[in-house]
Structure 1
Amino acid sequence: MIKVGVAGYGVIGQRLADGVAAQKDMELVGVADVAPTLSVRALKEKGMPYDLYNSLPDNQKLFDEAGIPISGTLEDLVQRVDIMLDASPGGIGAKNKAIYEKYNKKAIFQGGESNSVADVFFHGYANYEKGVGHQFLKLTSCNTTGLIRAVDCLDREVGIEKVAITIIRRVADPGDYHRGLTNALQVDKAPSHQALDLMTIMPHVDATGILVHTPVTHGHIITVLATPKKDISKEQLIELFSKHPRIRVVKLADGFQGNASLFRYARDLGNPRGDMYEIALFEESIVKSGKDIMFAINIPQEAVVIPENMDAIRAAMEMQTDRLEGVAETNKYLGLGKWIQK
């Protein structure tokens, strides 16, 4: 049983903890955070299902005043696990790396850290084998994670020469106020980092892209224009995407009009926090221009990277050294692909 700890109990950290707890071949030893945040207070009110460790001992008084039990420090947690999932704010994970190195522990970092923090820039489906046995892996961002799922799915079937993407990006997570109240769209300088990151993971694909910030909080939409090496029909595309356990093909005609429809559907399914691990691909968005393919996908930014983090644990700890075996175990425990028509 692989023992896992989570550093940072925020938007991603909460979901990482739940993801590990769902894996029958892993044990969640505990989570660590720096203060009694709302997420930590909710953990207490739920009866402390996970042991909590203090990442900043100088703040112990704050936890005591809030009546939140502490099981030790971050260093204590690191010593009790085989591998850490670091979901700390960008830049903090790089500092935590010194602790992981001190105790010779493995760690997985999130998309907010610089690529230099890790040995391998990792994606479960696209380059699983490259992460096998390495000490430090770094995940791609939420947008890049979902984008690579779709491009990799196509690439393995027909080969992809190049892609051009437009990202319609939510401005902040639900509950965040740090971006202020806005009524504007903002265009980033091209190419977007997601296109560059895709080429880092899949260097044989030529990618470029534009990113537009939008004043919404639930999900990103990405349009993809892909040039395949072999022609493929729209019907074949739908069949291919429909078989992928982390891609849910949805129809506008069924009421899936966009990000809000998908968030509502996740809540109607009873998913905790309204989370979805899978990206959604809008069937009616699939069009062809000659051999080129265009389609649109929805990226549920709060939870989409959780499966790939579980894959990263499996690769780093050599639980499964084969790509398909590793992702299949993750999918099984997270219930991914259960909507696929048999």
Structure 2
Amino acid sequence: MVKVVIAGCGTIGKRVAEAVKKQDDMELYGIADVSQTGGLRTVLSEDGPLHGTHLYASNQEGKENLEEQGFYVEGLLEDQLDEIDVVVDCTPPGVDEANKENLYEPNDVKAVFQGGASDDIAEVKFNADANYEEARGEDFVKVVSCNTTSLSRTMSVVDERFGVESATANLVRRGGDIPQDGRGPINSTIPVTEVPSHHGPDVQAVMPELDITTLAVKVPVTFGHVHMVTVDLEEDISEEEAVQAFEDQPRVRLINAGEGYDSTGKVHEMMRDLERPRSDMPEAGVWRETIDVEDGKLRWIHMVHQESIVVPDNVDAIRAMFDMEDKETSIEMTNEKMHIE
């Protein structure tokens, strides 16, 4: 039983904590933070999904802050490192580097970092579908960002089945998450003027042989990114073969616009009607009608729920680092406990 602490209980951290808590081969030892947020207070409340989970402070100042704000703090994270096996670090960029240097490395504790971390924080940039084996036995792993995760999931199955000569992805990015009201109000579409955008090189950190270029813009929405992808294939395939490949990928969900799900907002409503926790969609959602094959080119459009898509990969990263299961078994176990179809 691997003992896990989640450091930073924000958008990603609270979701990863809940996912770890559901696994049969992991123990959520506790969560760590430095100050209150509404989310932290809610998830630890009597009706919250993390009620009863031990709360630790990442440092002494954080302990004083949390106690002044009315939280019961079990102690300092540093004092628990002899008892735990791995920390999933969901703290802001810079904080994660300090934690690695001051806490994890000196105490020989493994750590999983998030997509916002610097590239040099871990040698392995991880996506369960694309490079699970590379994380075996590693002490430090970086789970790639939400957009990179979606591209790695979809590109890996296309590359494995048919071979990819080159790819272009155009990204429409959300302006901020639902609680990030400091990012608005917004009345603009903002081009990412770094060309290519960082998403292509990020995917290449997971799939180094992939020839991919990306462009991106940001738009004033809070639920989901949209990717428009064109791939030059190494072999001719049928549209039916492409559809089947996506259907077979365990964390890709085919969405039918013709059934009424023709926008990100309507997909969001679908998740609400299905009573998914927080309306989350950890799968990459590919619109079936957009899958098109012509003259060796495969095209599709998919959406990314930026708040939840990386959560299952964090769980799989832990199993890979401790050599607990093979790729297929880990993905199946995680999906079952998270009710990912």
Q: TM-score band, normalised by the shorter chain?
A: over 0.9
The amino acid that maps onto 1:301 is: Q
State the Cα deviation string for residues 157-207 of structure 1 (Å, max 9, x = none). 111111100000001110112323110001112111111111121122100
Match of 1:144 in 2: 148
Match of 2:306 in 1: 301
- Out of 63, 67, 71, the residue aligned to residue 70 of structure 2 is 67
Give the total of aligned pairs. Answer: 336
1:95 aligned onto 2:98: yes
- Out of 128, 132, 154, the residue aligned to residue 132 of structure 2 is 128
- Alpha-carbon distance in structure 2 between the residues aligned to 1:91 and 1:77: 22
Q: Secondary structure at the match of 1:107?
A: strand
Q: Secondary structure at the match of 1:102?
A: coil
1:190-339 correspondence to structure 2 within 5 Å = 190-320=195-325, 322-337=326-341
Displacement after TM superposition at 1:68 (Å): 1.4
Q: Secondary structure at the match of 1:280?
A: strand
1:76 aligned onto 2:65: no
- Alpha-carbon distance in structure 1 between the residues aligned to 2:46 and 2:235: 53
- Alpha-carbon distance in structure 1 between the residues aligned to 2:158 and 2:285: 15
Contact 1:186–1:212 (CA<8 Å) still a contact in 2? yes
The amino acid that maps onto 2:166 is: K
> TM-score of the superposition, structure 1-length normalised?
0.95
Displacement after TM superposition at 1:77 (Å): 3.7
- Alpha-carbon distance in structure 2 between the residues aligned to 1:193 and 1:96: 25
Alpha-carbon spacing, 1:40–1:77, altered in 2? closer, same or farther (3 Å): farther
- Alpha-carbon distance in structure 2 between the residues aligned to 1:262 and 1:83: 35
Alpha-carbon spacing, 1:194–1:85, altered in 2? closer, same or farther (3 Å): same
Q: Secondary structure at the match of 1:67?
A: coil
- Out of 51, 54, 60, the residue aligned to residue 51 of structure 1 is 54
- Alpha-carbon distance in structure 2 between the residues aligned to 1:8 and 1:295: 35
Question: RMSD value over aligned CA atoms?
Answer: 1.3
Displacement after TM superposition at 1:267 (Å): 1.3
The amino acid that maps onto 2:79 is: D
State the Cα deviation string for residues 263-284 of structure 1 (Å, max 9, x = none). 1111111111111111110011
The amino acid that maps onto 1:277 is: P
Displacement after TM superposition at 1:242 (Å): 1.1
- Alpha-carbon distance in structure 2 between the residues aligned to 1:84 and 1:206: 33
Structure 1 runs not aligned, ≥5 long: 338-342
Displacement after TM superposition at 1:310 (Å): 0.8
- Alpha-carbon distance in structure 2 between the residues aligned to 1:302 and 1:70: 27
Alpha-carbon spacing, 1:64–1:210, altered in 2? closer, same or farther (3 Å): same
Contact 2:35–2:66 (CA<8 Å) still a contact in 1? yes
More displaced 10-residue stretch of structure 1: 171-180 or 122-131 = 171-180
- Alpha-carbon distance in structure 2 between the residues aligned to 1:210 and 1:124: 24
Structure 2 runs not aligned, ≥5 long: none
Q: Secondary structure at the match of 2:183?
A: coil
Match of 1:183 in 2: 187
- Alpha-carbon distance in structure 1 between the residues aligned to 2:281 and 2:225: 13
Match of 2:28 in 1: 28
Q: Secondary structure at the match of 1:42?
A: helix
Displacement after TM superposition at 1:236 (Å): 1.3
The amino acid that maps onto 1:231 is: D
- Alpha-carbon distance in structure 2 between the residues aligned to 1:59 and 1:119: 30
- Alpha-carbon distance in structure 1 between the residues aligned to 2:250 and 2:263: 20
The amino acid that maps onto 1:276 is: M
Q: Secondary structure at the match of 1:312?
A: helix
More displaced 10-residue stretch of structure 1: 56-65 or 93-102 = 56-65
Displacement after TM superposition at 1:109 (Å): 0.3
Alpha-carbon spacing, 1:203–1:279, altered in 2? closer, same or farther (3 Å): same
The amino acid that maps onto 1:122 is: F
